[in-house]
A and B are shown apart, each in its own frame.
Chain A
Amino acid sequence: MSCRLRLLVLAVFLLPVLGAASLPATPNTDDPALEARLNHLAEDLRCVVCQNESLAESRASLALDLREEIREMMRAGLTDDAVVESLVARYGDFVLYRPPVKPLTYVLWGGPLAFLLIGIALALATLHRRRTLRPQADVSPEALREAARLLRSDHSRHPGSPIASGTASRLSHQEER
């Protein structure tokens, strides 16, 4: 592919991304500070109809209504916490993308840490067991001789394999002892 063609293909694939980036999430306002506050807050709130979108990015009509509702509460002087609280009172913790720590969510918050600790414990136990593992001593001389013979024949078939020859010589050395 020529360089120019490659650039063209890239440009085509980037078009929708650029288009999305150039659209503001919420137009129509005369108070940029309030709008910034709203958008910051809405990032952590779930749109209740389109469940995998935040309230900031959703264009569902209920999300628009909810943003208007939040705008009004902010204009009435409510703090961010008070706004979130009033939404939780109607829709439950479900609207929060960051669920609160409480008995029902202990597993959710503690689970990953618990799994990490279990993993570390298993790893340590396995390493400890491997370190204390003793080589098997009860191999008969016949078995060792047979192994050496097999390795040697393997070596003759694949000349220049250093591992095989090294092992074979070590084995034959052991044989002499």
Chain B
Amino acid sequence: MRRWIPLLVFAVLGVFLYLGLYLNPKEVPSPLVGRPAPDFTLPVVGRPGETFSPSEVRGDVWLLNIWAPWCSVCLEEHRHLPRMVGGRVPVYGLTWKDLDREAAPLLARNGSPYVAAVDDHDGRVAIRYGVTVTPETFVIDRDGMIRMKHVGPITPVIWKSKFEPLLRELQL
């Protein structure tokens, strides 16, 4: 019996190490889930004089997608987002640190997947949302509460498994 003890200890250690392989260090659990979405008022990209604030869409379920013109994965996501969402829920964009002012011509050229994209030029609103990487997507409910945060691009599989059930639950 005693000689099995080292093997047993090794097996337990092995299980922990194996599970560790599947942890994504980028996926930081957000304490914001279940809390009110931080409010802001920012200018809308490509529409001079216009602003957007989350309080304007109170009463709606909506998505806030954090993106940046220098983020190629975000641009790839833009191409697939409208087809996945299918107009079931409005998607707003938060343009993170568009220091070279590329967002407006880029959205005009490629077509925008957003109802409106706001310009977070110095990245301060992104900090309030605890953004660490682009793209990130927040699901915000009718009461203005953050219900989910997804880190990384949304693929059709992720949309079906993570977003659709939640949106159904939020009565859409």
Is the Cβ of A65 less than 8 Å from the Cβ of B124? yes
Work out how many contacts link A and B, with CB atoms closer than 8 A: 40
Is the Cβ of B28 less than 8 Å from the Cβ of A90? no
Is the Cβ of B127 less than 8 Å from the Cβ of A89? no
CB of A154 closer than 8 Å to a CB of B: no
Q: CA–CA, A83 to B20, complex, Å?
A: 32
A62 contact set on B, CB distance < 8 A: 123, 127, 132
CB of B107 closer than 8 Å to a CB of A: no
| Cβ contacts B24-63/A at 8 Å (1 or 0 each) | 0100111110010000000000000000000000000000
A51 contact set on B, CB distance < 8 A: 25
Is the Cβ of A65 less than 8 Å from the Cβ of B130? no
| Cβ contacts B1-40/A at 8 Å (1 or 0 each) | 0000000000000000000000001001111100100000
Q: CA–CA, A49 to B97, complex, Å?
A: 15
CB of B142 closer than 8 Å to a CB of A: no
Is the Cβ of B123 less than 8 Å from the Cβ of A90? no
Q: CA–CA, A66 to B97, complex, Å?
A: 13
Is the Cβ of A90 less than 8 Å from the Cβ of B132? no
Is the Cβ of B133 less than 8 Å from the Cβ of A49? yes
- Residue with the greatest number of chain A CB neighbours at <10 A, chosen from B29, B123, B129: B123
Q: Closest chain A residue to B32 by CB distance?
A: A90
| Cβ contacts A38-62/B at 8 Å (1 or 0 each) | 0000000000110100000000011
Q: CA–CA, A90 to B124, complex, Å?
A: 12
Q: Tell me if B's interface is mostly helix, strand, loop or mixed.
A: loop
| Cβ contacts B126-154/A at 8 Å (1 or 0 each) | 01111011000000000000000000000
Is the Cβ of A90 less than 8 Å from the Cβ of B97? no
Is the Cβ of A89 less than 8 Å from the Cβ of B97? no
Is the Cβ of A91 less than 8 Å from the Cβ of B28? yes
Q: CB within 8 A of A48: which of B28, B32, B122, B124?
A: B28
- Given contacts A65-B122, A65-B123, are A94 and B133 in contact (CB under 8 A)? no
Q: CA–CA, A88 to B124, complex, Å?
A: 16
Is the Cβ of A89 less than 8 Å from the Cβ of B124? no
Within 8 A of B (CB), among A76-91: 88-91
* Size class of the A contact interface (CB-based, 8 Å): 10 to 19
Is the Cβ of B30 less than 8 Å from the Cβ of A92? yes
Is the Cβ of A69 less than 8 Å from the Cβ of B130? no
| Cβ contacts A140-165/B at 8 Å (1 or 0 each) | 00000000000000000000000000
Is the Cβ of A92 less than 8 Å from the Cβ of B29? yes
Q: Closest chain B residue to A88 by CB distance?
A: B31
- Residue with the greatest number of chain B CB neighbours at <10 A, chosen from A61, A89, A91: A91
Q: Given A48-B130, A89-B31, A91-B31, 11 more contacts at CB 8 Å?
A: A48-B132, A49-B132, A49-B133, A51-B25, A61-B97, A65-B123, A65-B124, A89-B35, A90-B130, A92-B29, A92-B31
29 contacts between A and B (CB under 8 A): A48-B130, A48-B132, A49-B132, A49-B133, A51-B25, A61-B97, A62-B123, A65-B122, A65-B123, A65-B127, A66-B127, A69-B124, A69-B127, A88-B31, A89-B31, A89-B32, A89-B35, A90-B31, A90-B32, A90-B127, A90-B128, A90-B129, A90-B130, A91-B28, A91-B31, A91-B132, A92-B28, A94-B28, A94-B29
